[in-house]
Structure 1
Amino acid sequence: MTVGEHCNREVIVITGEESIKVAAQLMRKHHVGDVVLVEERKGKRVPVGIVTDRDLVVEVMAPGLAPEELAVRDIVVDSPFLVREEDSLFDVLEMMRGRRVRRVPVVDADGELVGIIAVDDLIGLLAEMLDDMAAVVGRQREREIERRP
């Protein structure tokens, strides 16, 4: 199972010149916990950072900075952690755990943004898999009962 098969392809993006306030408004409008900072390179949207709701709280609100006066590029860390759409879900989960991140932009072979994967997505997928496995066990019991004399 690859990340590309299960990532969310509807990514909310922003440019570095936009204000932090605009980033927060986009998160609220789209009910998401992040926006991906992109740059246009050779006609492709390339992710260069990510701003999360936690970043807004820790980096802007807690120190009392004015969100309308800060640009997104002012709080984004250089060299974002990215994964490729052909990467294994389990490998990506392990990498996310090691880096202590909950969301990761997903890129294609050319480095263009194609989606985002979040721990919440992985939890939902694992829950579905566990439900399927439980159904198999339940069906096995039913078959045993039906076959008994």
Structure 2
Amino acid sequence: MPLGELCNKEVVTAQSEDSVLQAAQLMRQNHVGTVIVTETRNGMTVPIGIVTDRDIIMEVVAPELDPEVMTVGDIMALEFTTVKESAGLFEAIQHMRNMAVRRLPVVDDAGALVGIITLDDLLVLLANELHALARLVTREQQKEIHTRP
């Protein structure tokens, strides 16, 4: 199944000039650990960076900088990667592992933001699939007992 069908389409976004405090407030309000930094290009919302709760801790809180003065653009990850909405589940997992990231913005062929897929999303999805497979084994055993007493 393509990621475009699996990803969360409700992405919390910020602009590079937004303060870190604003980004942190967005994270809290939306119960997420990341904001995708975007800009508008040719009428499309395009991801240009990512800021995580860990970025805020390491770059602003720990060095005791002012989160109202620091901007999202000041701390957003410079090494930024996305994945195409046509990519498959295992391709996304491989990409996350290779890039050592827990979150991937999902984009269309033109580079416009479509959604986001996270490690947490993938763990829940895979756990549900494994549970379905385990139920299959149990049903198969029950069917065998019922048809061949």
TM-score (norm 1): 0.97
In the alignment, the residues of structure 2 paired with residue 144 and residue 62 of structure 1 have an alpha-carbon distance, to the nearest angstrom, of 61
In the alignment, the residues of structure 2 paired with residue 83 and residue 67 of structure 1 have an alpha-carbon distance, to the nearest angstrom, of 30
- Which position in structure 2 is the counterpart of 1:116? 116
Shift of 1:78: 3.2
Aligned-pair Cα RMSD in Å:
0.9
CA contact (8 A) 1:103 1:116 kept: yes
Secondary structure of 1:65's counterpart equals coil
Shift of 1:80: 1.6
- Which position in structure 2 is the counterpart of 1:135? 135
Secondary structure of 2:5's counterpart equals helix
* Structure 1: gaps (5+ residues): none
- Which position in structure 2 is the counterpart of 1:40? 40
**Cα deviation code 1:34-61 (max 9, x no counterpart):** 0000000011000000100111111111
Give % identity.
Answer: 50
* Structure 2: gaps (5+ residues): none
CA contact (8 A) 1:19 1:68 kept: yes
CA contact (8 A) 2:105 2:116 kept: yes
Q: When the two structures are aligned, how many residues end up with a matched partner?
A: 149
- Which position in structure 1 is the counterpart of 2:74? 74
Shift of 1:95: 1.2
In the alignment, the residues of structure 1 paired with residue 77 and residue 144 of structure 2 have an alpha-carbon distance, to the nearest angstrom, of 57
- Which position in structure 2 is the counterpart of 1:94? 94
